[in-house]
Amino acid sequence: MSMDVRDLGGRPVIIGGGIAGLMTALHLAPEPVLLLSRSPLGADSSSAWAQGGLAASLGDDDDPALHLADTLAAGDGLCDAQAAGPIVYGAPAAIEYLACLGVRFDRTPTGALRLGLEAAHSRRRIVHAGGDGSGREIMRALVAAMRSMPTIEVVEGFEARRLAMEGGRIAGVVASGPTGPVFVATARVVLATGGIGGLFHDSTNPLGSCGQGLALAAHAGAVLADMEFIQFHPTALDGSNRPMTLISEAVRGEGAVIVDETGRRFLDGVPGAELAPRDIVARAVWKHLADGHRVFLDVREKQGATFGRQFPTIASACGRAGIDPTCDLIPIRPAQHYHMGGVAVDLGGRTSVPGLWACGEVASTGLHGANRLASNSLTEAVVCARWVAESVAGTPARRTKPAFAEDYPSPDPLSVRPFSSRALGIVRDGEGLQAAARALLPLAEGTHAVSDPAAVGLMIAIAVLQRQESRGAHYRTDFPHQAPDARRSKITLDDALGAARELANSPALERAM
Ligand SMILES: Cc1cc2nc3c(=O)[nH]c(=O)nc-3n(C[C@H](O)[C@H](O)[C@H](O)COP(=O)(O)OP(=O)(O)OC[C@H]3O[C@@H](n4cnc5c(N)ncnc54)[C@H](O)[C@@H]3O)c2cc1C
């Protein structure tokens, strides 16, 4: 039966088929809901690629208060404790809910959940499924649950390109599918579009994750938060493949060490060594590479023969690259991995635009602050999806007028990558940022394929310029210390365009920003 997407208007529309979109749809059921996904469900999403798992305080020696303390410490003074508390306290129940939905978590012979350790966690609290294939198993179960829910209409192969507004509120979604552009009239939209890795040369994200949800929200006038905070993972498999294969922190949690070509463990003197917070390990690896060394992960002594059983996804990626981790060193380099910033939301996922919600990586709840604690993002998406669904369900449907669907180009971040990779990477400086902002401004001002990715890059560049300190994952060589009284940052597209235009007209302006 052929179905016209326009006929499905009026219901809440969820944009994105990763864990955040699927969980929100499942929680909204049996309310009729329309889920738009650019790709077949589960494909092209970071969720399906997640290796480590979900963080939750489930061990006998653990407590949500300890999970909260670790989260706040990783966030380096910028987490919103009012948001972080409810999320980490909600984590154990969320894991139970996933198990009820059919997720087959890894268990001990007695049936208890097997708990892994990751960097900057003071307890073993990472729940896995299928070893290092956690995301794949979670998505398998969620997609099956979705398919059995008749009130959830899934429309694959449609990309949301713009949000329509009426009197300052959401009035619909302009999407493009196989038959061209369509307008779906709705007063309630949930963004669940994932991250920004596609803006960088070196990233672990699917290439299509280029911040389109941020661009949709920004064009609708939404406030975005903490845009400057981007996490770089220290251990991506170094090679020519893009996106890069992640080598999960769990590998270091099980004893792998980082060495250089001489076999030296150059992180030896760093508190926590290989399990120090991600930003510290990533910067150390980056610097060692910049100094002309090669850097490797060595699993031979601690994991050796068990590695393939414990980390089958990573082992087969190494195999494809001609590396046998039982006897070879694994070459690594840091790669963009996760965006702490996003559309500013409250715990119900409400943005500053009436009728617009956000959930998952595209949202910024305040949980992560300046640096995400490993495996807190899947947890955040699962916990918050329930509250987002409750908020959407509690907001009465409003009739909106059908409109003409203008055709907007599909985003293409290719020509943004050189600027973002150079200026918005692990180590930043004012000069490089100003150059990037000037270069991105004219690209962001048009309506071309590059414009939305450029607008996202520009908002990040301005937020980075305005944070004149170093904190968490954000490091500036010209402001290497923490500033007193630091706060979370907020920015709109107009703010970013205005700041970039001033910069373009006055080269010495950065000091005043
Ligand atoms: C390799 C890797 C390993 C990771 N491991 C872990 C881990 O172990 N633990 C952890 O907590 N986190 C992990 N993360 C981070 C975590 O996976 C993500 O933060 C999380 O999955 C994001 O979920 P999401 O639903 O917000 O976005 P995604 O899962 O990325 O889904 C976004 C969806 O939106 C769709 N989409 C985007 N734009 C549009 C549009 N305009 N129109 C229609 N559809 C659109 C995409 O096609 C996709 O389906 C990992 C990330 C990566 C890349």
Give the pLDDT confidence of 103-155 residue by residue, as tens digits. 999 999 999 999 998 888 999 999 999 888 999 999 999 999 999 999 999 99
Distance CA 192, CA 16 (A): 5
Task: Answer whether 375 contacts ligand 1 (Cβ < 6 A).
Answer: yes
At 276 the pLDDT is 86
Does 3 score more than 70 pLDDT? Answer: no
Least confident interval from 300-304, 349-353, 453-457, 462-466: 300-304
Tens digit of pLDDT for each residue in 227-285?
Answer: 999 999 999 999 999 999 999 888 998 899 999 999 999 998 899 899 888 899 999 99
DSSP 163-180: EEEETTEEEEEEEEETTE
Kindly give the distance from the C-alpha atom of residue 310 to the centroid of ligand 1, in angstroms, as a whole number: 23
Distances 133 to 101, 105, 399, 455 between C-alpha atoms, Å = 17, 10, 43, 34
Mean pLDDT of the chain: 94
Mean pLDDT of 19-38: 97
Active site (catalytic) residues: 278
At 402 the pLDDT is 83
At 509 the pLDDT is 55
Can you tell me which atom of ligand 1 is nearest the CA of 36? 43
Distance CA 19, CA 41 (A): 10
Kindly give the distance from the C-alpha atom of residue 372 to the centroid of ligand 1, in angstroms, as a whole number: 15
pLDDT band at 51 (very low <50, low <70, confident <90, very high): confident
Residue of 45, 126, 184, 345 with the most ligand 1 atoms within 8 Å of its CB, for mutation: 45
> Which residue has the CA at smallest separation from atom 2 of ligand 1?
50
At 259 the pLDDT is 97
Does 507 score more than 70 pLDDT? Answer: no
CA-nearest of 426, 512, 427, 413 to 458 is 413
At 1 the pLDDT is 37
Kindly give the distance from the C-alpha atom of residue 337 to the centroid of ligand 1, in angstroms, as a whole number: 10
Is the pTM value of this prediction over 0.75? yes
At 2 the pLDDT is 43
Kindly give the distance from the C-alpha atom of residue 494 to the centroid of ligand 1, in angstroms, as a whole number: 27
pLDDT band at 303 (very low <50, low <70, confident <90, very high): confident
> Which residue has the CA at smallest separation from atom 33 of ligand 1?
16
Task: Answer whether 163 contacts ligand 1 (Cβ < 6 A).
Answer: no
Distance CA 92, CA 76 (A): 24
pLDDT band at 416 (very low <50, low <70, confident <90, very high): very high
